[in-house]
Amino acid sequence: MIDLLQRQLDGRLIPEVYTALDTIASAQGKLLGAEEQIIARANNKRRQEFVAGRTLARRALQRIGYGATDIFAKDRIPIWPPSIVGSISHCKTHAIAAVAPRCKVLSLGIDVEENQAIPPDTIDMICHAEELGNSIDACYTATLVFSAKEAVFKAVSTTLPYIDFHDVRLQFSSASRSFLAQIRNGPSLHGSYFIDRVLIVTTTFIRAS
């Protein structure tokens, strides 16, 4: 199942973006450099998700020919090598990382969620009515909307002031499994989504012109 989703990610994103997806349990590599400091006082669950994110970031970097490097963080925001943009996400069971050369992609955001319904009373906080369309099960569609907006947030968090869910308006195209995200008083980002029985993965990026 992971292989299938990984193949979809490889084939459907722009060629310059490389991803690595795995279960948290299977992605327990070694931390490098000062990464241990970030997680020194964390509980076991947090340690495992952090280690998985770093392990998969290095797997993704390897896919673009970049050697093993430590990825420190400030306020949880990963500090990538100067020539790289990237993003990390984890849900309960899985983790994912995406990277791209900065000369091709200005910023990148990725998010993974369990493919589950979100509580009905949180839908209005996350979604504009039109983002739910005529969906039969709004609670599942809202999980996709939530994921896409989290990915957008990660892609712009270092360049824009704090944005709220309602500051982002999504237009989905189900035929191409893509979306356009328009940020109020901000840029628009292209995005793609991937759904299987277990996971929802969303990615957004701004291409270098």
Ligand X SMILES: CC(C)(COP(=O)(O)OP(=O)(O)OC[C@H]1O[C@@H](n2cnc3c(N)ncnc32)[C@H](O)[C@@H]1OP(=O)(O)O)[C@@H](O)C(=O)NCCC(=O)NCCS
Binding site for ligand X (CB under 6 A): 49-50, 53, 73, 76-78, 88-90, 111, 149-150, 152-154, 157, 163-165, 168
Least distance to ligand X, CB of residue 124, Å: 14
Kindly tell me the burial class for residue 73, based on how many C-beta atoms sit within 10 Å of its own C-beta (0-12, 13-18, 19 or more).
middle
* Residue closer to ligand X (CB basis): 153 or 194: 153
* Residue closer to ligand X (CB basis): 158 or 175: 158
Residue among 167, 166, 182, 177 at smallest CA distance from 200? 177
- How far apart CA 172 and CA 184 sit, in angstroms, is 17
Least distance to ligand X, CB of residue 87, Å: 6
* Residue closer to ligand X (CB basis): 152 or 206: 152
| Residue 125 contacts residue 100 (beta carbons within 8 Å) | no
* Residue closer to ligand X (CB basis): 71 or 138: 71
Residue type, 203: T
Least distance to ligand X, CB of residue 171, Å: 15
